[in-house]
Amino acid sequence: MLPVCISCNFRMWPPSNYCSRCHSKTALENAETSGILIEYTKSFLPGNEGIYGLVDMSGIRLIATFDTSELSKGQRVKMVNCGINSDGTAFYLFEPFLS
């Protein structure tokens, strides 16, 4: 779900109750859950390890988590789960589309 402007249909990301373009109210709508992997790398930070990358879903960008290192820049990826971690941060688990 993503806040979308009730007037101009602009998708607000990060989420907000007002549209940043026309300042009308937003309402939650189902959002696209696939996009393009713009860049990716691997974190070795203790307690915060993992493969991650920047995904662009028609202009909505976020840092996604991946369970695989078999990735390539520009490939299509899809969200398979999202939610809130125990430390309060968000997670967006993505995987590549099967070719």
Partner 1 sequence: MRRVAITSCATSSFTKASKNTLLELACDPCVEILRKDNLSTKDIDAVLFSSCATDQYSSSILCEMMGIHPKISHRVDNLCNSGTNAVVSAYALIASGLCDSALVVGAEKSDSQGNKLQWDLTRGSFMFPVHWAAIFAKAHMRAYGTTEEEMAMVSVKNHKNAVKNPVALFRNEVALEEVINSRKIADPIKLLECTSACEGASALLLQAEENFHSLDNPVFIQGIGQHTNSASFANATSDLTSIEATKIAGKRALDMAQIKISDIGIAELHDAFTILEIMAYEDLGFARKGEGGKFVNQQQLAMNPRGGLIGCGHPVGATGIAQVAEIAAQLAGKAGNRQVKQCLHGLVLNLAAAGSSASVIVMGV
* Distance separating alpha carbons of residues 77 and 86, to the nearest angstrom: 25
Binding residues among 1-60 for partner 1 as defined by CB under 8 A: 13-15, 38-45, 48, 50, 52-54, 60
Is residue 78 involved in binding partner 1 (CB under 8 A)?
no
Burial class (CB in 10 A: 0-12, 13-18, 19+), 97: exposed
Give the distance between the most distant pair of CA atoms in the chain. Answer: 45
Q: 16 vs 24, which CB is nearer to partner 1?
A: 16
Binder of partner 1 out of 30, 72, 89, 99 (CB under 8 A):
89
Least separation in angstroms between CB 82 and partner 1: 9
